[in-house]
Amino acid sequence: MKSNKINDGIVGNIIIPSDKSISHRSIIIPSISVGISEVKNLLMSDDVIHTLNAFKAMGVKIEKKDKKIIIYGKGLNSLTKPNKNIYLGNSGTSARLLTGLLASQKFETILEGDNSLSSRPMARIMNPLKLMGAEFENVSETLPLKIIGKKLTKSTIEIEIPSAQIKSGLILAALNTEGVSHIIEKNITRDHTENMLKSFGADIKIDKNNNQTSIYIKGKKELKSNNIDVPSDLSSSAFFIIAALINKGSKINLNNININPSRNGILKALKKMGAKINIGNQRTISGEIVADLKVEYSELIGCELDSDMAKFMIDEYPILSIAAAFAKGKSIFRGLKELRFKESNRLELIRLNLVNCGCDCEIINDDLIIKPSEEYIPKNNKIRTDFDHRIAMSFAVMGSKVGNLIIEDSDSINTSFPNFIEKFNSAGGNIL
């Protein structure tokens, strides 16, 4: 796709797709509950559809009815062996959460993915699961991964890596394990799994002490069905927020946005940069805090973010880097190691593509330093994405300011935001 410069800003009321992280969990948790759950506003992106199809393959009845997804839950230990390997496309969330869930089931499963997912490390979830007795067959510790389901044992596990996917995988394993499992999270991460499990009647207790969280899960307690209303995704909102902030004349409204405190770092960072963002009408829906946002063009200033911010906004650093490229003054974003292990090496792709566009950008250890240029004249107009949806959408936003950027492998956007181009153009964008 080609992203061209716009002149009149981004304007209007924009409906943002539902939260991808919560959508995955809105399939998984009802499927292992007892009874019928209704899910409203499920994100029907490629990633989420792979999760949905995985549970259908394991015997869960799931049907669509009047814009709702109806899930007929089977209980904690009632999934059945699929007839073939489970294919997960590019969905790292599906891969890591299902690895945890399937480790305690009573059958063997093989998880597969596309080339990108098959290159991503799985040891980070496999190794802590092994402490509970989980068994795998895989030498390379990447997909394809054979999971040999078996009875696990309760354990105390410390998570060093700040990853909600790892934490959630362990929690899902613990649900089907006798006794009380204790998960210690050294760095706070998004808590969608815990919030949803509480509403489904799980015996889960959470103690927070400074920057460390202890999670206690009493296993073998059946979950009870519940209805879910999935809020709109803050990560997806960020592309429109920053497009509005950097383009003169912009003024947009975004309603029903998930602003969960464990992942709202992008809003805090942009406020620090001088962004005009009004957060109003806060309320709680299905255990999540949501709000309506009003955003208008702002003269941004560079900022420094320490490594603690990364756990609250790791997925938003690609698009935040675009904001930094048009701010006044240098920005330094510290502690971005996790960006190297996403759908791509996002840290390197941010640097490579910003430099290509004429920005002074470098990586020192795991820190990203961005020094904006007064005028951007790309060395060439091709943006390398390595099939990463967030890199593609971030540089589409940059194209709205720079003009004439060719975004390679843009089909990856379907991973999280299938109608991104349509919505961006309807708000004043110029993507071909």
List the catalytic residues. 315
Tokens of 76: 């904690």
User: Exposed/middle/buried for 333, CB within 10 Å: 0-12, 13-18, 19+?
Assistant: buried
Helix (H, G, I), strand (E, B) or coil at 76: coil
End-to-end CA distance of the chain: 6
Question: Which segments of 132-177 are extended strands (E)?
Answer: 135-137, 145-148, 156-159
Choose among 278, 321, 282, 280: nearest CA to 298. 278
Q: Check residue 281 and give left, alpha or beta (phi > 0: left; psi -120 to 50: alpha).
A: left
Annotate 327-350 with three-state secondary structure: CECCEEECCCHHHHHCCCCHHHHH
Q: How far apart are CA 120 and CA 93, in angstroms?
A: 12
Proportion of the chain in helix, strand, coil states, percent, rounded to 5: 35, 30, 40
Alpha-carbon span 220 to 227, nearest angstrom:
22
Helix, strand, or coil (residue 208):
strand
Does residue 233 contact residue 315 with C-beta atoms inside 8 Å?
Answer: no
Please, are residues 315 and 265 in contact by the beta-carbon 8 Å criterion?
A: no
Q: Alpha-carbon distance 57 to 52, whole Å? A: 9
Dihedral over alpha carbons 154, 158, 163, 169 (to 10 degrees): -10
CA 353 to CA 99: how far, in whole Å?
34
The first and second tokens of residue 3, run together, are 């992203």
Residue 210: Cβ-neighbour burial (10 angstroms; 0-12, 13-18, 19+): exposed
